[in-house]
Structure 1
Amino acid sequence: MPWSVPGLRTGRGWVLSAYPEVLVARWQRLAEAPVERRAALFGPSRSRTVRSSVPQLPGQSASSNRLSREPGPCPEPVLVRHGAFDRLWLLPDQRVLDQARPELWRVADAAQVFATVQPPEGDGPRVGFSAELPDGQRAKGTGRVHPLYRRPGAREPNVAPGLLRRLGTVLGTRVTAEDLLAWIAAITAVPAADEEPRRGEEVPVPLPGDPAVWAEGVALGRRVLWLHSFGERYGPPHGDGASVGRPRMPGGRRPFVRERVTGSPDELSYDPETESLLLGDGRLAPVAAAAWEYRAGGESVLGAWFARRTPDPEARPGTLEALGLSGWPQQSTADLVDLLTVLTLLAELRPALAALRGGPGPWIGADALAAAGVLPVPDWSRRPASVLQHQEEGPEGQFALL
């Protein structure tokens, strides 16, 4: 997948939250503050101040006037993928984002799938997949984002030119970009036993020469993609891929709220004897130990998820980051059940995914791809396509002439 984009650089923490109503409240406080106070609340950086003049984000309706002059109404918060599995809300406004990566926003639509490189530490997935636009943030720095398509409407797959045709010839079957992404999801879901340190943001993806191995990997990968996207892409497992549905555990294993969460829980723990996840005085059960132990990018997925939904102890009083909720909303418990389901089902796939990764081959080598003209990839395939679906408002309400 030659074309990739660095992760977003927000420049300030208050533009992200687990709760959209918190973002609206923060915006209102910023917009109502006097200009000098507004500048301090904003948190200026080398890339952005309240006097920065920047265009709208593609497909978004935020004002393009300077924040020092007229902030305008709060931009409608949008869901983004944070790390491999967290879904947070973001203010989609270039005036408050240091590097918003507009090229990603131009290709984000209902058909797009984003692959984001994860840190190599631990036994978690090497690549995360999402229907939401990812911010690229992870436990250590940011990761590069590889969209499946270079243009909206599932047009022009972001695949090395000639690769799909070559794979089809070797495997004796038609190979689509969606099949290739499923294979990538399966083969990068668990690290290889002999995995070597990778260079930068490159993630090696071995390609099979055996049609049976390919078919098995694509089937497993479609389930991985379905789970990573929380049911938004690739449809239920064993389906035709045309329908989608939220992942759910079978009856008897489905986590339920046994004791309701009240107040604002400040601790998350696990009781292995009762298979209970404890949030303050709340309790969910049954919760598989594999979900509690699931790690990605060297950090506990559940621990990091919970930390982002509790008050930040480092937030200074009076700042926008310190503005949050005083209790635990019911929606957070529902989101937690969805996350537990995804992590449990992914953990159950580990043996099959590890067997696929450790298979004997045969594998298609780089020399064979070079002989077929697939490698090296042309320079143009590493650059974004020219995309302009609609007029994009420039700074101060102007429109660019292209």
Structure 2
Amino acid sequence: MPVIAPTHYSFRSFDRQWIIPDARLINRPNPELWDSYSAKQLFLTALERVSPRSGPSITFTGLIPDLDHYHGRGGRAHPLWRDASAKVPNIPPQLLGALAEVYGHAVSAEDLMAYLAAVMAHPAFTARFQEDLVQPGLRVPLTADPALFSEAAALGREVIWLHSYGERFADLTAGRPKVPPRMAENARPFVPEGGGIPGAPEPLPDTMEYDATKNRLHVGKGFVDNVSPEMWNYEVSGKQVVWHWFSYRRLDRTRPQIGDKRPPSPLDKIQPDHWLAEYTSDLINLLNVLGRLIALEPRQADLMKLILTAELIKVDHLKTALGVGSN
């Protein structure tokens, strides 16, 4: 029987891990997601039955997402494309046509996805609409201003490029190479001399601590410098991204069992016996992505304010275009 090679997948927002793509091993695999997957696919993930509390209200990934990808407690994945060849968008063509009429130019599925990223994938959106989000289900303000839509779509492409670690919406002319994003050289996190996180024969580290006085992130006996408090505290609806990233790679990965839930599988105990060099690379990549996203947040917040004070497309207009009743 042939060996099925492991593949990268998105376990949680900004946390990429490995999986064996065999339906006999995966809990509740979604054939539609796997069948429509390709190097052009993009997934938006968000909560469905509850509302986000903080951080970005949506996140993106270019890899197959876990069912609980958004923050580990429920959610839903929305693919950009319905097919692996990326020719059939997962957005009603009537909606794209209606937007094209408003803006006076063609609107692609990628444009609309990028607009959502610019407007919704930042903490200011979640904070601004906290009262409205009491009722689960995300709603987005759609600008009627062609210039604001274009500005948001351009900004959102950078957001998605960051969320996907440079693998989606890469564009060299726009400064988005198809490589893991990096902050400016004087601002980017780095492992200084003497700070390397030791591998074998040292066991996996079990502690991660942050020293705000030195902007230093300690991982076991090693550390990373130039880590801002904002990077350390970055969260997706209550889930502190950097800490939880480490919690799945530390020595003791056990978690308290809640109620009568089924106990963890013994397979959970299978892990490397030492810190891997790729873990350090992945951590540096994560910190750079978070740092650049944090730097974009003021632009996203300002753009959202402009959109909310300008004319918006009315819901009834969209319902008419989609052939949906107004009631």
TM more than 0.5: yes
- Residue from 118, 131, 134 that aligns with 1:186: 118
CA deviation profile, 1:83-128 (whole Å, cap 9, x unmatched):
2110011121111223100111010001111111146333211111
Q: 2-side partners of 1:374 and 1:187: how far apart? A: 26
Secondary structure at the aligned position of 2:224 is classed as strand
Q: 1-side partners of 2:157 and 2:139: how far apart? A: 19
Report if aligned partners of 2:161, 2:170 keep a CA contact under 8 Å in 1: yes
TM-score (norm 2): 0.86
In structure 2, the gaps of 5 or more residues are 257-262
Percent identity over the alignment is 35
AA at the equivalent of 2:101: T
Q: How many residues align?
A: 304
Residue 238 of structure 1, CA deviation: 5.8
Corresponding position of 2:207? 267
Alignment of 1:82-121 (within 5 A): 82-118=11-47, 120-121=51-52
Is the radius of gyration larger for structure 1 or structure 2?
Answer: 1
Report if aligned partners of 1:192, 1:354 keep a CA contact under 8 Å in 2: no
Alignment of 1:297-376 (within 5 A): 297-311=237-251, 312-314=253-255, 319-359=266-306, 360-373=309-322, 375=324
- Cα distance, 1:246–1:362 mapped onto 2, change above 3 Å: same
- Cα distance, 1:307–1:327 mapped onto 2, change above 3 Å: same
Q: 1-side partners of 2:297 and 2:162: how far apart? A: 13
- Residue from 170, 177, 186 that aligns with 1:252: 186
- Residue from 204, 215, 223 that aligns with 1:283: 223
Q: 2-side partners of 1:160 and 1:310: how far apart? A: 44
AA at the equivalent of 1:352: R
Report if aligned partners of 1:187, 1:356 keep a CA contact under 8 Å in 2: yes
AA at the equivalent of 1:371: T
Q: 2-side partners of 1:76 and 1:272: how far apart? A: 41
- Cα distance, 1:238–1:347 mapped onto 2, change above 3 Å: farther
Matched, 1:128 2:86: no
AA at the equivalent of 2:275: W
Deviates more, 1:204-213 or 1:366-375: 366-375
Report if aligned partners of 2:207, 2:250 keep a CA contact under 8 Å in 1: no
Report if aligned partners of 2:114, 2:154 keep a CA contact under 8 Å in 1: yes
- Cα distance, 1:144–1:237 mapped onto 2, change above 3 Å: farther
Q: 2-side partners of 1:159 and 1:248: how far apart? A: 32
Q: 2-side partners of 1:226 and 1:373: how far apart? A: 30
In structure 1, the gaps of 5 or more residues are 1-71, 378-402
Matched, 1:294 2:234: yes
Deviates more, 1:105-114 or 1:94-103: 94-103
TM-score (norm 1): 0.71
- Cα distance, 1:128–1:334 mapped onto 2, change above 3 Å: same
- Cα distance, 1:374–1:301 mapped onto 2, change above 3 Å: farther
Secondary structure at the aligned position of 1:363 is classed as coil
